[in-house]
Structure 1
Amino acid sequence: MSSTVAKAKGFKHSKPGLWLSIGSSAFGVVGIAKDVKKARLENDTLMLVNAVVGAVALVTGTALLVRELRQLGRDDVLLG
């Protein structure tokens, strides 16, 4: 079982794993867009602020994943 856990942890930091994470983040945009639309329709400032903070977190997380993907690409070139 420990080898399965190790493989899963390794997948998270592999190119396919990073692309999957970036793709999952893209689906988060849909939820945030719905929250923003609902907040505007209801004139709910607090809900709008919550959606904006969520959007910022999503953008930051995606930027971190892209940076890790680029670093992984650089490491592959150096090793290859």
Structure 2
Amino acid sequence: MSSSVKDSKAAKLSTSQQLKGWKHSKPGLYVGIGSSLFGAFGIVRDVKRARGEHDTLKLVNATVAALALVTSTALLIRELRQLGDDDVLLG
């Protein structure tokens, strides 16, 4: 294996490690919360469509999706608060 291939694999590994670390940083958590809130628009659309069609199964599906969205957002907010508690500069 040539040294350039080894170097590129090492660079990819460090990039993936950096992305995993970014996911648990403040900007990463804010992006996660924002994308969750953006997903709420699709759920609202699905609920309206299910009600319009009088389709109970689709309404249940949209409700379960909404509960999952609320839970994931709550988890992200909790992680953001814990991250803030660990920060000595925030007090």
Separation in structure 1 between the aligned mates of residue 37 and residue 52 of structure 2, nearest angstrom: 24
2:82 is the alignment partner of 1:71? yes
Q: 1:77 deviation in Å?
A: 2.4
Q: TM-score, normalized by length of structure 2?
A: 0.84
The one-letter code sitting in structure 1 at the alignment partner of 2:55 is: D
Among 31, 41, 46, the alignment partner of 2:52 is 41
Equivalences, count: 79
SS at match of 1:4: helix
Separation in structure 2 between the aligned mates of residue 71 and residue 44 of structure 1, nearest angstrom: 41
Separation in structure 1 between the aligned mates of residue 46 and residue 72 of structure 2, nearest angstrom: 19
Moved over 2 A (4+): none
Structure 1, unpaired ranges of 5+: none
2:23 is the alignment partner of 1:5? no
SS at match of 1:77: coil
> C-alpha deviations, 1:43-72, integer Å up to 9, x for none?
000000000000000000000000000000
Q: Which has the larger radius of gyration?
A: 2
> Identity across aligned pairs (percent)?
68
Structure 2, unpaired ranges of 5+: 1-11
Q: TM-score, normalized by length of structure 1?
A: 0.95
Among 3, 25, 29, the alignment partner of 2:40 is 29
CA RMSD of aligned residues (A): 1.2
1:14 maps to which residue? 25
